[in-house]
Copies of this chain bind each other. A is one copy, B any other.
Amino acid sequence: METVTGFARWYGRRVPGEDRPRYAPPDGRTAPRYSGIKTFARCPTPLDPEGVDVAVLGIPFDTATTNRPGARFGPEAVRSASIALRPYNSVQRAPVFGRLSVADFGDLQVTPGNAEKTVGQIAAQLEPIVRAGVRTLCLGGDHLVVLGELRAHAAVHGPVGLVLLDAHADVWDLYCGERYYHGSPFRRALEEGLVDPARSLLAGMRGPVYEASDLDVPGDFGFQVIRGEELVTLRPEEYAAQVRERVGEGPLFLSFDVDVLDPAFAPGTGTPEAGGLTTREALGYVRALRGLRFSGFDVVEVSPPYDGPGQPTAIAAANVAYELLTLDVLAHA
């Protein structure tokens, strides 16, 4: 029925003969950006991964947080803020939505109150998408969700090299006796053989820790760490050079925890640490990774109830997600 409006018309699929990706947002110059159901960047929501380059998926889960909860609403907030993303990346000089077919597959099924089960659900739902050759961009959710993501990617590609930007290395062990919480995903991932520490670089760690030995743990596990106070002394290209040298050849995964930003830039997060990166710095480090090819990405720990009225955290996270998509465009150009 031709005249039916709204969701159907704006978020339509590619018109045959048109030179644009199969799935892309409506044009913000004719469909006001604040209109339409809030999918990521107002991308379409197809039923299967056919013809999709990157699948965006929300993981609305925060059972595993140790301080401020709320990340279960992270996917909604990042989608809401993502409406302002226009198709062309002006710094990277790259078309994004003009080249990449991006679909929003909605949220993964999770089990509130049961972290271990949820990790399994995430892996089970993601694996077929990864196996279909689609790159995944997950919106957290607390950082434990990355464990499910890594299981899916490792199942398809083998152990991945991890590029992490985060205020915490997240390699702690137990929390109040629990093994699955947002401070432990990378320790669990190591134990499960999902990550290759020798091809991984964790950067941005800062803030107090429980004891001196906490600082040695990642290295003991074989990870390279660039702590926050060192990171800020590096130019983006210097950081990227270290990453490139470290990751070598093989499958890669990039995880971005918004708490790597200072609480002034990302107040809406669960475990804020004073003295972090500015958004501009973080975008610079991400952009410098151009050329690297990742099989999966995530942006996690956005907690909307702690964000300001102007949503600076969600805006920063949406822009990081956009830069991750741009990395994908540049890697597959």
Contacts and interface: CB of A to CB of B under 8 A. Distances in A.
A223 interface: no
A209 interface: yes
Nearest to A134: B4
Interface stretch (A66-74, A188-196, A244-252): A66-74
- Interface majority SS on A: helix, strand, loop or mixed? loop
A224 interface: no
Contacts of A178: 111-114
Interface in A248-305: 262-265, 267-269, 271-276, 278-280, 283, 305
Contact of A319 (B5, B126, B274): B274
Nearest to A215: B90
A318 to B, nearest CB: 8
23 contacts: A4-B47, A4-B128, A5-B57, A5-B126, A5-B129, A6-B57, A31-B109, A32-B60, A32-B176, A33-B66, A35-B72, A37-B79, A45-B45, A68-B70, A69-B72, A86-B210, A88-B212, A113-B181, A263-B315, A268-B309, A268-B310, A274-B318, A306-B310
Contact of A308 (B31, B57, B278, B308): B308
A158 interface: no
Contact of A29 (B4, B68, B175): B175
A107 B271 CA distance: 21
B76 A69 contact: no
B267 A86 contact: no
Interface in A185-214: 205-212, 214
Given A208-B96, A315-B274, A37 B37 contact: yes
Contact of A49 (B4, B47, B62): B4
A7 interface: yes
A229 to B, nearest CB: 5
A257 to B, nearest CB: 15
